[in-house]
Amino acid sequence: MLKKLLCGATLLCAASFANAGSMTVSAAVPLQTTNFDAVVSVAKFDDMGGTKQLESVTFSLEGFLLGNARLESLDAEPSLVTTTLSVTLTLSETVTDNTLVITIPSLDEVFAASAYDGSTDFGGTSGITYEELTASQTESETYTDAMTLAMFTGLDTIDLNLNALATSFASGAGNLITQFSTSAGGNIEVTYVYDDVPVSAPAHLALLGLGLLAFAGYRKAKK
């Protein structure tokens, strides 16, 4: 019986206990006219005095846009004009300016334009006006490198920069007048995945000692 107990206690000492967990912090940048840079602060991962170890950081960026577009074909022949409304949203950290994740919400509209109708009014048969077009797109990137993990570990906050660059265009007619106006924003989530730091060997030995004392007391009481 004692031999079995000792074997079990030895296994307890050699075991490495680690419980995985995760936590998510978030920030939002409201719709505003492009082009812009917006700085937000998020909490770093608290390792609870070294009792938790950060394993990975995932950055999720939901980008959205709201925009208007106007176009007029001046061609002498009919044409199909494709309008692409888009914004490139780039999330980076401000310490080294490294890019963390990029998302590009976009949409396409196709217009069958006639030959130029003689009036540059973004209407009629050779022009069109699009209003309050919307699009959204979400992208995520996960990092496990030591530099990123160290940068996002601590008791304070870290600044992130969201850059919004309008990238709208129209094509299909050789002679084309276009006007675009876009606003963009984003929802940011930072997810920390961590493990509990394994209990040290001295702590296991203390548990072993208590177990042996309890067993000795049990045998003495049995006698």
- Residue 1's pLDDT band (cuts 50, 70, 90): very low
Count of structural domains, the chain: 1
In a domain, 209, yes or no: no
CA distance 60 to 189: 5
13 falls within a domain: no
CA pair distance 58, 141, nearest whole angstrom: 6
* In a domain? residue 2: no
Residue 9 has pLDDT above 90, yes or no: no
Q: For position 39, what pLDDT does the model report? A: 98
Strands 79-93 and 36-43: unpaired
Lowest-pLDDT range of 36-45, 145-154, 176-185, 213-222: 213-222
The predicted model scores a pTM of: 0.81
Full domain range(s) for residue 158: 26-197
Confirm whether 184 is domain-assigned: yes
Confirm whether 87 is domain-assigned.
yes
- H/E run at residue 196: strand 176-196
pLDDT score, position 198: 82
Nearest to 59 by CA among 152, 167, 189: 189
pLDDT, tens digit (0-9, with 9 covering 90-100), for 50-61? 999 999 999 999
Question: pLDDT band for position 20 (50/70/90)?
Answer: confident
What pLDDT, in 10s, does the model give residues 110-153? 999 999 999 999 999 999 999 999 999 999 999 999 999 999 99
Residues 137, 169: Cα–Cα separation, whole Å: 18
- Tell me the pLDDT of the chain averaged across its residues: 87
Tell whether 215 is covered by a domain: no
- Helix (H) and strand (E) counts in the chain: 3, 10
Q: Residue 212 pLDDT > 70, yes or no?
A: no
Residue 212: inside a domain:
no
